[in-house]
A and B are shown apart, each in its own frame.
Chain A
């Protein structure tokens, strides 16, 4: 039915997981992606300019 198929995932991740094995570290590609994304997001948040600088200068 069209209504039900609307809710099916486009890219379901149900295939057997891919893993990165380095010495005793064994991490799924999915988890590794999440961790890398977190680090990138944190660093980006630190470096990206925050809008409204002129308004803040006016209110000093």
Chain B
């Protein structure tokens, strides 16, 4: 026996009472049988959701104006991905918590140039397009000020962009080869060729969908479908699932921070939320060592219900 002071929230008394027979393997087997039965019933009754993935083909077919607008933003470097910063490029501010700029310090590890990777290279891959090839050469040999002039001209016309008879219609004079590039990329997307090009690149086998997913998420279409399904960030979306299925309800606290200030209106919102969640996780991990926090169970006295039989028998002894 030690002579140290007994700390009720840290130490446990030695059990000098009785023991009862206990079949651990039988308990495990019964638990497995019950859980399996419950899971089978739930699966048979409710099934599981499977909303089909949205391809670039589906997107550009359903909403060619949104696709073409997004394609233009990839070309002129104004899309979310183009101006993201690390880990994709150096074009945007990285998120930080005070002096900690982890995103920036780790740097660009998944290098992407949206103009080249999402627009120019896929167009170059199209065979037997001499007029397009000439336009691409014209574009790539132009100075940055010339391109800026083209972009301004196209942007002005793009506010009234229409899609008619298989063509992106933008009333823009002085936009150089930009209208042809955007229109041809839209046609390429509607054929399904862009999906394959962004995933396959120059390889036969690949399982990396980074480029297609970033392109898709730069548009409004994906977000509109998600909002309809109540999956958006301001709808506590991280917790939710498509349809009426339960989602990741355990992400409630993570989703909560995105609904309140300063997280919901800060440019560093994601970094702040992760910082808070990591801190709370560490607190949970080290509860046994934190005075006050580790006393809560004893003060809450829920344990009186759990061990009521023991207390009843001991108190009456």
Contacts and interface: CB of A to CB of B under 8 A. Distances in A.
User: Do the two chains bind?
Assistant: yes
Interface of A: 8-19, 24-31, 33-35, 46-47, 50, 52-53, 55-57, 59-60
A31 B47 contact: no
B65 to A, nearest CB: 25
Nearest to B47: A9
Interface residues of B, number: 35
The 9 lowest CB-CB distance pairs between A and B, nearest first, are A9-B47, A13-B244, A60-B18, A30-B246, A46-B305, A59-B18, A14-B243, A31-B249, A12-B47
A47 B18 contact: no
Contacts, number: 95
Interface string B79-121: 0000000000000000000000000000000000000000000
Interface centre among A11, A25, A30, A47 (most CB of B within 10 A): A30
Interface stretch (B1-9, B165-173, B194-202, B227-235): B227-235
A13 B302 contact: no
A17 B243 contact: yes
Contacts of B246: 28, 30-31, 33-34
20 contacts: A8-B47, A9-B45, A9-B47, A10-B44, A16-B228, A17-B241, A17-B242, A19-B235, A24-B259, A27-B236, A28-B240, A28-B244, A30-B246, A30-B247, A31-B247, A35-B249, A35-B252, A52-B20, A59-B19, A59-B21
